[in-house]
Structure 1
Amino acid sequence: MPKPSSISEKPHRSNTSEESCAQRPHQIVIVGGGIAGLEIASNLPKRTGRTSIAVTLIDREPAYVWKPMLHTIAAGTSDVSQQETSYVAQARNRRFVFEPGELKGIDRQGRKVYLSPTEIAGRRVLPERAIDYDTLILAIGSAANDFGTPGVREHCLMIDSRSQAMNFNREVMARILETVTARNTLNIAVVGGGATGVELAAELIQLADVSAYYGAAGLRDQINVTLIESGPNLLGAFPDRVAIAARGRLEELGVTVLTGARVVAAEADCFRLADGRQVSAELKVWAAGVKGADACAKFEGLELTRNNQIVVTPTLQTTVDSRIFAVGDCSSLPVGDAGKPLPPAAQVAHQQASHLIRHLPRWLRGKELPTFTFRDFGSIVSLGGYGAYGSLGQFGLFTGGFLRGRVAQLGHILLYRSYQSQLHGFWRGGLIWLADMINSRVRPRIRIPD
């Protein structure tokens, strides 16, 4: 593993370039405005002290939604307009520059990132561009892994991003209207028994229950939700007690849970399983597996894993270029004697962001970076209004403790509000929480189609 390095290393530029760099702020470019990227962009400028920097955040979306909330946007049990953070507004409030666009490639020798042209409604509004950097932070997240399964890309929806969640919501709302009008049955199948799949299945049941309040009486009996998992249990990354409790609750709600069921093909009206069974589904969701975002394949020269994630050192720098960092789901950091990488989880992304926010300013002044240490605070899976289950992890008091009911739901809420506080500050974050509480009382409990 390369030795941790500081900014004082000899750079790969000419003397003329170095002289011009000395006359301008140090250019920090962050690609990806997710949990880690947006937190770094929002907090790094105020932490640099005497160091002169300019922070630029690049993302193809106009706004950010906390990834663990995407399934609620997809199901329509949360309104995206109330949950999203506008990048332009956040940049104004937190003193960074937002550059809309999708990463096309990186020139490591010239220290430039290239962005593809940006189109809106089929019209090109921004040309292909190049942005200079002195330090590059890659935080482009992850995507569901279809493992090359035939038909997935053609017939399945995914909810890895704000746009995908909104697209799924439009589709499910249209399908529900058709179902109510025709008085037939809507079969929905979700592949992937991780947190996203489990939480989405529960939210879809809640959508049906709440819809009855707005006139769709009997909708619960017209919707069949099936959750398909190839492994022996749901929530494979969680303790067995959490997985068993979550499965039991889903089945009580009427969700059909299939474990040990490997999907070998997706077709227009069904999933085909390895044992020959077919699972009928007019609406199909793929939430199985995790891989690095497709953009990772464009990073020529960087070390990647088989799952398309960027291999980093314990200082979160890439193994081949100390001026490029990778954090969050797009990175792979082997830890422990077995060298097992950290999981692609929100708490990992948050802790890595906090690490860079704390230590990058010293690195820019020529100090060495300390190694990153992950602390497992546990994890929680929320089944919407039907309960929550979680564990306390392997750090602190009550190691491995089991949470359920209101305590677990409160923990899930506090995780979200804590992240909002990291982005907006304590008082502004508190006002956002208050506004959400008011909206929950005066606005519809589900998204009503226009």
Structure 2
Amino acid sequence: MNLQVPATSPDKGTVEKQPYRIVIVGGGAGGLELATQLGRKLGRSGKAEITLVDRARTHIWKPLLHEIAAGSMDTGRHELSYQAQGHWHGFRYRYGEMIGLDRANKRVHLAATYDEDGREITPDRWFPYDTLVIAIGSVSHDFGTPGVLEHAIMLDTPEQAERFNRRLLNACVRAYAQPGPVRDGQLHVAIIGAGATGSELSAELHHAARGLIEFGLDKLDPEKDFKITLIEAAPRILPALPERLSQATADILSGIGVDIRVGSPVTKVTAEGVTLANGEFIPSELVVWAAGVKGPNVLSKLDGLEVSRMNTLVVKPTLQTTRDDNIFVIGDAAYLLPDGETAPIPPRAQAAHQEASHLVKQIQRRMNGATDLAPFKYRDFGSLVSLGKYSTVGNLMGFIEGKSLRIEGWFAKMMYRSLYKMHEVALHGYIKVALDTLSRILTRRTEPQVKLH
């Protein structure tokens, strides 16, 4: 079967052969895994030209962003260069951000990029494709709440997480160096949204604050000066997860001193703190917004592709968009409602991982002329919430039909870590992951447990 696409030579007018072009926009968990697998299977052999487009130069597994924000993870040890990954695994990386689409001519539009001095790095350009995969993830949804964009920090990117960490460190140093006592709210953190990100961040911050103070900021009292408030509009934290998992997490967080406010929608965010719907004001030096997600704005500007109420792209069971079979969507950007279900597949890393694995096979079938692509079937393996050094809780699915198994403590922690290891194995293979893991264990014993700069 011929896997190459005919093209007309501009100088001779003859028909030449060019590789089948697969463009993947977005280098998150699903997009990077897909590019790596297709690069190994098709790119190295020249059967297809695989191109990964992303507006960042390095990849960080998104579920780790709360650890970056707290300063409990060294970004340099976990980030992966797209350029290097492409060189090693047979795909091309192109720096840029998608701003539009020309479906008739099968082209992706990338905006020009600039450095911090305003100098152009790459021009405005178009990339042709035969198959396009959109995997640009999701962004935080502020629901139009006044003051969020101006005064709250979101954790959608490593840059945002690092910005929060710098502000946290600066706030602690400022409080230590000032002549007077710590004022009310000066070292208070309000986390709006008690889903997995917000709940995990609250535990990591509790531990990180004590680590910062141990390294010379002894004037500060972590029990009296540092306060974390976790705010949720729903009746309980972790509202998307089973109630018993929610209660177990709430018990652990309350036990370490996190102030949990449920049934408390936020109506306004200011530089001094947050205002709740009941009129209560919570003074806070730092505010994190983790209250919901939606599709990036660009998804509603892609040449008429159908979007959902949350601005994600509506796809068929095959993960192809409803209005163009040449375009697939995976990860948080996809809206897929399984048969018989009332809710779409959740925006989780395990869903993106499964969708990427599914598309590796289906894109190869499509290249070989198949039109009856297999539908994607999501398997929910359960949910895990890591509360740092304090505990890990979760439930595992699939051991008994229709039943879930609640786990907690050391076993749950190992299962949580295994999710990240599965992602690393998909990118690097078992041997490299084993060596990297050993290296991290050895160096971690000789370094501070929190970031101090």
Shorter-chain TM-score range: over 0.9
Q: Contact 1:157–1:286 (CA<8 Å) still a contact in 2?
A: yes
Residue of 88, 93, 102 corresponding to 2:88: 93
CA displacement, residues 372-397 of structure 1 (integer Å, 9 cap, x when unaligned) = 00111011000011100000125667
Residue of 14, 38, 42 corresponding to 2:36: 42
Q: Contact 2:212–2:452 (CA<8 Å) still a contact in 1?
A: no
Matched, 1:422 2:426: yes
Aligned to 2:73: 78
Distance 1:68 1:358, change over 3 A: same
Q: 1:116 & 1:22 partners in 2: Cα distance?
A: 30
Deviates most, 180-189 or 43-52:
43-52
Residue 163 of structure 1 deviates from its aligned partner by 1.6
Deviates most, 44-53 or 207-216:
44-53
Residue 212 of structure 1 deviates from its aligned partner by 3.2
Matched, 1:309 2:312: yes
Aligned to 2:130: 134
Matched, 1:270 2:265: no
Aligned to 1:226: 229
SS in 2 for 1:335: coil
Residue of 325, 330, 336 corresponding to 2:328: 325
CA displacement, residues 178-212 of structure 1 (integer Å, 9 cap, x when unaligned) = 12223514111000010000001111101012223
Residue 164 of structure 1 deviates from its aligned partner by 1.3
CA displacement, residues 15-38 of structure 1 (integer Å, 9 cap, x when unaligned) = 999x98961111111110001000
- Using the size of structure 2 for normalisation, the TM-score is 0.92
Q: Contact 2:9–2:16 (CA<8 Å) still a contact in 1?
A: no
Residue 51 of structure 1 deviates from its aligned partner by 7.5
SS in 1 for 2:246: helix
Distance 1:132 1:386, change over 3 A: same
Please list, as runs of the form range in 1=range in 2, the aligned pairs for 1:292-441 lying within 5 A after superposition. Answer: 292-367=295-370, 368-394=372-398, 399-441=403-445
Q: Contact 1:208–1:219 (CA<8 Å) still a contact in 2?
A: no
SS in 2 for 1:188: strand
CA displacement, residues 406-426 of structure 1 (integer Å, 9 cap, x when unaligned) = 011111111111110111111
Matching residue's letter, 2:450: I
Matching residue's letter, 2:150: E
Q: Contact 1:51–1:364 (CA<8 Å) still a contact in 2?
A: no
Matching residue's letter, 1:136: L
Q: 1:120 & 1:327 partners in 2: Cα distance?
A: 30
CA displacement, residues 135-155 of structure 1 (integer Å, 9 cap, x when unaligned) = 110000001111111111111
Residue 353 of structure 1 deviates from its aligned partner by 0.6
Q: Contact 1:392–1:398 (CA<8 Å) still a contact in 2?
A: no
- Using the size of structure 1 for normalisation, the TM-score is 0.93
Q: Contact 2:100–2:302 (CA<8 Å) still a contact in 1?
A: yes
Aligned to 1:119: 114
Matching residue's letter, 1:78: M
Unaligned runs of 5+ in 1: 1-6
SS in 2 for 1:443: coil
Matching residue's letter, 1:37: G
CA displacement, residues 285-304 of structure 1 (integer Å, 9 cap, x when unaligned) = 10011101222122121000
Aligned to 2:99: 104
CA displacement, residues 10-65 of structure 1 (integer Å, 9 cap, x when unaligned) = x9x99999x98961111111110001000001111223498810111111111111
Residue 219 of structure 1 deviates from its aligned partner by 4.4
Please list, as runs of the form range in 1=range in 2, the aligned pairs for 1:18-29 lying within 5 A after superposition. Answer: 23-29=17-23
SS in 2 for 1:322: strand
Q: 2:418 & 2:68 partners in 1: Cα distance?
A: 19
Residue 443 of structure 1 deviates from its aligned partner by 1.9
Distance 1:395 1:336, change over 3 A: farther
Q: Contact 1:417–1:433 (CA<8 Å) still a contact in 2?
A: no
Distance 1:116 1:444, change over 3 A: same
Identity %: 39
Matching residue's letter, 1:220: P
Residue 339 of structure 1 deviates from its aligned partner by 4.0
Q: 2:229 & 2:392 partners in 1: Cα distance?
A: 20
Q: Contact 1:47–1:358 (CA<8 Å) still a contact in 2?
A: no
Residue 398 of structure 1 deviates from its aligned partner by 8.9
Aligned to 1:194: 195
Please list, as runs of the form range in 1=range in 2, the aligned pairs for 1:248-287 lying within 5 A after superposition. Answer: 248-287=251-290
Aligned residues: 439
Residue 122 of structure 1 deviates from its aligned partner by 2.9
Q: Contact 1:190–1:284 (CA<8 Å) still a contact in 2?
A: yes
Matching residue's letter, 2:195: G
Distance 1:22 1:445, change over 3 A: farther
SS in 2 for 1:340: coil
SS in 2 for 1:385: coil
Unaligned runs of 5+ in 2: none
